[in-house]
Structure 1
Amino acid sequence: MSNVRQAVLFSFATRYSAMIVGLVSAMVVARLLTPDEIGTFAIASAIVMVMSEFRLLGAGMYLVRENELTDAKIRSATGLTILISWGMGLGIWTAAPAIAAFYELEPIKVIFRILSISFFLAPAISIPTALLTRDFRFRQLFIVRICTSLTNLASTIGLIMLGYSFYALAWGYTLAVIAELFLIFFFRPQGMPWTPNFKNLGPIARFGIYNSLAGFFRRGVVTAPDMIIGKLGTTTQVGLFSRGLGFIEFVSQTLMMGVKPVVLPYLSQVQRSGDNVNDAYIAATVLLGGIIWPILAVASVVSLPAIRLFFGDQWDAAAPYATLIAYWAMFRSVHWFSSDLLVAKGKEKLMVLKEGGMFAFYVSGIALAFPSGLMAVAGVFTVAGLVDLVLTTWLLTRFVGLQPLRMARSWLPNLAVTALCWGAAWLIFNNGDFVSKGVPNTFWAVAAILPLVWLMVIFMVRHPLKQEVILFLRWFANHWPRPRS
């Protein structure tokens, strides 16, 4: 378990470092660009990012999961990624004028073509990244991520200052991908084969199509509002809803994605060793829930001061959407590792069916709710999150053998921690002076007090995180510089 713990620590370090850089970028960009400008980019990037789920066709996950990895399999994965990714890059470039005409937004054509560059670079990045992940080399991946994040930050803000408006967001992303290419080439595993092989692609494609479809549906859930509202409403509405959803996604993904890169290798390792994967899954969800549920519950309370502090008062209208979406994120996080469990168990087809059904639910709900306003759209997210939780629990019980009552009992400490943290945040917020002074003083009060409340409660209810905190404190004490005598 030591290599897994170290991998989790570096994965968390990667995400938290990227979070800080991303937060700085979002704070600056939100003040330099208008909701209309950000909405225009959101429409174009939503379409491209959804399509990006197919550009690797699951080749990376295939390499991570394989019991015996050979040079031939790596070459075939590279060949398949080239065929799919380059083909999609060319398709995006060609389709750009038609998409721009559909949305009646000419700038989308240029944004599409800038973002298409990343598709041509993807094969040279994704395959060595998968091999580094398989070997738990998250220290190197940490360096790659922080450098690419800084590249994105510097280039985006610099180009905005030069007057490139929303085009700066597209170029910032693309320049970061180019930087990632050079860094991954430097850290690539020794002896890694680079020459692609276009034979024996069937096993990888069969595995990859399920994972890519599932990723497409998952990504589509958070990008569908941009595409649907962009067609039915205005770019300003897209920008405001995207900011509310983006704020909650930023909070939740920073936490969940810090652990997720380690989960599939870990569950696959457990499966290969013959241990109980379901037990490992429940333990992982409880640990994640003990962190993310209290934070999201608090975020639902302080969404207005948080958004005003980080993005400026021109985004105040996004706060009510963020409050409802926070509950959606809580429901969704319970089974955030379900895709990894299904992959480890070889149930990729079931994963796709579930994700596809939920995607259809979201799309139809958003389209039907939009005439009633953006709050109705946010409400659809909350309801859909609850439906997703119930459906996923049933599927894992029926087809994987998960014990729902055992999982529910394991989650009781999470509910206690969340309720107490939410209550503390509500008391602070409703007795603060945010309204009277017009500044988010209560946000800072919540940020200062709630970590102590959380720490006290996990010890009080004997949450499994208690042991992780103790281990961290021991590690910190052993590594803290001691004064020389």
Structure 2
Amino acid sequence: MNRVRRAFVMASVEQYLSLIINFVLVATLSRLLTPAEIGIAVVGLGVCVITFSLREFFTAEFLVQRPAVNAEEVQSSGTILICACVMLGVGLMLAAPMLSRFYGEEGLQLFLAVMILATVIDTMSYPAVALLHRELDFGNTARIRVASIVAMAITTISLAAMGFGFMSYAWGNLVAACATTLMTSFIHPDALPTKPTVSAWRVVLDFGRFRGAAGIVDKIYEAIPQLVLGRFMPMSDVGLYSRMNAISGIPDKMLLSSVFSIAFPALADGVRNGRDVKRAYLHALRLICVIYWPALLLMALLARPVVNLILGPAWMEVVPLVRIVAVAGIFFFPVILTHPLLMATGKNKTAFVSNLTAKSSAAVILCSASMFGLTAMAWSQLVALPLQMIIALHYARKAVSFTWRDLAGAIGSSAIVTVAAMACPVGFTCWIRPDLDFTVLEFGAVLLLAFCGWLAGVLLTRHPVLSEMLNLLRLRQWIRSGEDRSAERAGERGFLQGTGQA
């Protein structure tokens, strides 16, 4: 368990540093670029996301799940991934002229060409990153991720300031890809495809067939509403939709991204070592809800000052949209964890079916709503996210056999803490600022009241998040962490020496 806690701390550090950098990036670019320029970049990125999601059929994540790995599997993973990526890049480059005409933007061709190069370079790092996840070495993962995003942010902002427009995003992604691959080559040189082989292709495809299909569904769900919106609405609307997602997704990035980063490796480690996965899953849901729910409701309450701070006064159109999506996000709590649970327990096909059912249904809802504009898309989340929650819980119950009473017991105390956290902020708002246009001091007062109420709720309910926080603060874990991680890495990397390919 100490390994998992250390991994969570390091993943959280990575996410918070990345979040701060992203705040700076989003805030700066929102002032340097127009909504239309941001919309073009979002469309280009969406096209690349959908195209290269096909790489997921050859994902390196099978290295995380397997009881033991060898050098042939690592080299096969890298070889197959790069070959697949190059083939997809050629196909996208041939389709680029047609896509440019479809969206009425000539510059999209160059954008796609640079993004293809960036993706090929980035793909070379995937096996190394998978091995780091297997080892729960999120310290090095954090260093790689933060260095990459810093390089991307500096490049993108500099080029945007020099007038490169939407192309700033493409060049920034290229620099980030180079930084990621360069760093992984130093940390895990054995994972680079220096000895191309496809000898382990059956293992790669056996894992990737369902994981890949699930990944494609995820990427399509993420990108297709924006692509549909870009076809039928002005590019400025795509820019507004992108910024709405950026702001309403702050609680996700702050609280859930680190959970998702370690969920599959941690649960897979638990399965390999015979631990109670059901208990771990319900405990994780309890910890997610106690922090995630109050954060979402605070985002809905403070949307106006947050948008003004991060995006600037020119983007105030997204404020009501952020409020709607933040409230809808309350239903997202089991979705983030169910897919890693199914993957860790070896139910790859079930994970795919679950993901396909949930995301395809939600995508139909969002794309249908996009025909009626941004507000309709925001309201449609109140249908799409509860639907995903129901489907996720259905398949999670089949995997670890918990009852509805077990679930209620797990998240009930988190609901009480959420009510305690929001009681004073809502009362303060009704009394002092019913128009929700908070000053800086009022903004700070709401946050302070929410924290005090949250802490009182945690103490009143004796919520386990308190003991988890205390565990994470114990210095003895950090004193031992260097030796523990070195021993763990040495054991994990021993397979290379055993095959004579170190």
TM over 0.5: yes
- Cα distance in 2 for partners of 1:245, 1:428 equals 27
- Cα distance in 1 for partners of 2:437, 2:217 equals 44
Does 1:330 pair with 2:330?
A: yes
Query: Could you tell which deviates more after superposition, 425-434 or 276-285?
Result: 425-434
Does 1:244 pair with 2:244?
A: yes
Matched with 1:273 is 273
Q: Secondary structure at the match of 1:353?
A: helix
CA drift at 1:424: 3.1
The one-letter code sitting in structure 1 at the alignment partner of 2:211 is N
Does 1:130 pair with 2:130?
A: yes
CA drift at 1:310: 0.9
Matched with 2:176 is 176
Decide whether aligned partners of structure 1 residues 273 and 428 sit closer, same or farther in structure 2, where only a CA change above 3 A counts: same
CA contact (8 A) 2:62 2:207 kept: yes
Decide whether aligned partners of structure 1 residues 219 and 453 sit closer, same or farther in structure 2, where only a CA change above 3 A counts: farther
CA contact (8 A) 2:305 2:438 kept: no
Matches within 5 A, 1:39-438: 39-57=39-57, 59-188=59-188, 194-432=194-432
CA drift at 1:464: 1.0
Does 1:461 pair with 2:461?
A: yes
Q: Secondary structure at the match of 1:52?
A: helix
Query: Could you tell which deviates more after superposition, 190-199 or 266-275?
Result: 190-199
Matched with 2:30 is 30
- Cα distance in 1 for partners of 2:414, 2:246 equals 25
What do the CA deviations read for 1:82-114 (whole angstroms, capped 9, x no partner)? 221221222222221111111122222221111
CA contact (8 A) 2:303 2:322 kept: yes
Query: Could you tell which deviates more after superposition, 66-75 or 327-336?
Result: 327-336
Matched with 2:485 is none
Query: Could you tell which deviates more after superposition, 334-343 or 451-460?
Result: 451-460
Q: Aligned-pair RMSD on alpha carbons?
A: 2.3
Unpaired runs of 5+ residues, structure 1, are 480-485
- Cα distance in 1 for partners of 2:475, 2:186 equals 31
CA contact (8 A) 2:41 2:166 kept: yes
Q: Secondary structure at the match of 2:195?
A: coil
- Cα distance in 1 for partners of 2:393, 2:341 equals 12
What percent identity do the matched residue pairs reach? 23
The one-letter code sitting in structure 2 at the alignment partner of 1:392 is A
- Cα distance in 1 for partners of 2:436, 2:387 equals 39
CA contact (8 A) 1:300 1:324 kept: yes
Decide whether aligned partners of structure 1 residues 105 and 426 sit closer, same or farther in structure 2, where only a CA change above 3 A counts: farther
Decide whether aligned partners of structure 1 residues 8 and 455 sit closer, same or farther in structure 2, where only a CA change above 3 A counts: same
- Cα distance in 2 for partners of 1:51, 1:228 equals 16
CA contact (8 A) 1:434 1:441 kept: no
CA drift at 1:338: 0.7
Decide whether aligned partners of structure 1 residues 201 and 436 sit closer, same or farther in structure 2, where only a CA change above 3 A counts: closer
Unpaired runs of 5+ residues, structure 2, are 480-502
What do the CA deviations read for 1:302-347 (whole angstroms, capped 9, x no partner)? 1122111111111111111111211332212223111111111222
CA drift at 1:43: 1.1
- Cα distance in 2 for partners of 1:243, 1:350 equals 34
- Cα distance in 1 for partners of 2:101, 2:110 equals 12
Decide whether aligned partners of structure 1 residues 322 and 221 sit closer, same or farther in structure 2, where only a CA change above 3 A counts: farther
- Cα distance in 1 for partners of 2:238, 2:307 equals 16
Matched with 2:491 is none
- Cα distance in 2 for partners of 1:453, 1:50 equals 43
Decide whether aligned partners of structure 1 residues 192 and 107 sit closer, same or farther in structure 2, where only a CA change above 3 A counts: closer
CA contact (8 A) 1:244 1:321 kept: yes
Decide whether aligned partners of structure 1 residues 7 and 232 sit closer, same or farther in structure 2, where only a CA change above 3 A counts: same
CA drift at 1:226: 1.0
CA drift at 1:473: 4.6
CA drift at 1:436: 9.7
Decide whether aligned partners of structure 1 residues 375 and 192 sit closer, same or farther in structure 2, where only a CA change above 3 A counts: closer
Q: Secondary structure at the match of 1:298?
A: helix
- Cα distance in 2 for partners of 1:381, 1:58 equals 31
How many residues are matched? 479
Query: Could you tell which deviates more after superposition, 320-329 or 363-372?
Result: 363-372
The one-letter code sitting in structure 2 at the alignment partner of 1:146 is V
The one-letter code sitting in structure 2 at the alignment partner of 1:21 is I
Query: Could you tell which deviates more after superposition, 409-418 or 210-219?
Result: 210-219
CA contact (8 A) 1:27 1:311 kept: yes
The one-letter code sitting in structure 2 at the alignment partner of 1:98 is M
CA contact (8 A) 1:56 1:84 kept: no
Decide whether aligned partners of structure 1 residues 3 and 328 sit closer, same or farther in structure 2, where only a CA change above 3 A counts: same
- Cα distance in 1 for partners of 2:205, 2:270 equals 25
CA contact (8 A) 1:298 1:421 kept: no
Q: Secondary structure at the match of 1:164?
A: coil
- Cα distance in 1 for partners of 2:290, 2:90 equals 44
- Cα distance in 2 for partners of 1:85, 1:425 equals 50
CA contact (8 A) 1:72 1:197 kept: yes
Decide whether aligned partners of structure 1 residues 169 and 7 sit closer, same or farther in structure 2, where only a CA change above 3 A counts: same
CA drift at 1:400: 4.2
Decide whether aligned partners of structure 1 residues 451 and 138 sit closer, same or farther in structure 2, where only a CA change above 3 A counts: same
What do the CA deviations read for 1:381-426 (whole angstroms, capped 9, x no partner)? 1211101111221222235423332022110011112222233333
